[in-house]
Structure 1
Amino acid sequence: MELHWWSIEVRHGAFSAHRWRDQLGESLFEMAVTHGARDWGWVEQPWGLVFEVGFRDPEGWLRFRALPGVRAVLDAVPDPVNGLYVYPGRGGSSGAPLPLHPRLPMGAGAAPLPETPEPIIVAGRSPAQ
Structure 2
Amino acid sequence: MNLTWWSIEVRDGETPARQWRDSWSSSLLEAAVTHGAHDFIWQAEPFGVVLELGFAEHETGAWDRFRQLPAVVAALDAVDPRTLYVYPGRGGSAGAGLPRRTPRPIVEDAAPLPVTPAPLLLARAT
Q: What's the TM-score, normalizing by structure 2?
A: 0.71
Letter in 2 for 1:66: Q
Q: Distance in 2 between matches of 1:60 and 1:93?
A: 24
Structure number with larger C-alpha Rg: 1
Query: 2:66 corresponds to which residue?
Result: 64
Letter in 1 for 2:72: V
The 5-angstrom pairing of residues 1-129 of structure 1 reads: 1-56=1-56, 57-77=59-79, 80-95=80-95
Off by >3 Å, runs of 4+ in structure 1: none
| Structure 2 residue runs without a partner (length 5+) | 101-126
Q: Distance in 1 between matches of 2:93 and 2:54?
A: 14
User: Root-mean-square deviation (CA), in Å?
Assistant: 1.4
Letter in 2 for 1:35: H
Checking the alignment, whether the CA contact within 8 Å between 1:5 and 1:54 is kept in structure 2 is yes
- What SS class does the counterpart of residue 82 from structure 1 fall into? helix
Letter in 2 for 1:70: V
Q: What's the TM-score, normalizing by structure 1?
A: 0.70
Q: CA-to-partner distance for each residue in 1:75-119, whole Å, 9 max, x for gaps? A: 112xx23100000000012115xxx9xxxxxxxxxxxxxxxxxxx
| Structure 1 residue runs without a partner (length 5+) | 101-129
Task: Give the aligned length.
Answer: 95
Checking the alignment, whether the CA contact within 8 Å between 1:4 and 1:58 is kept in structure 2 is no
Q: Distance in 2 between matches of 1:47 and 1:10?
A: 8
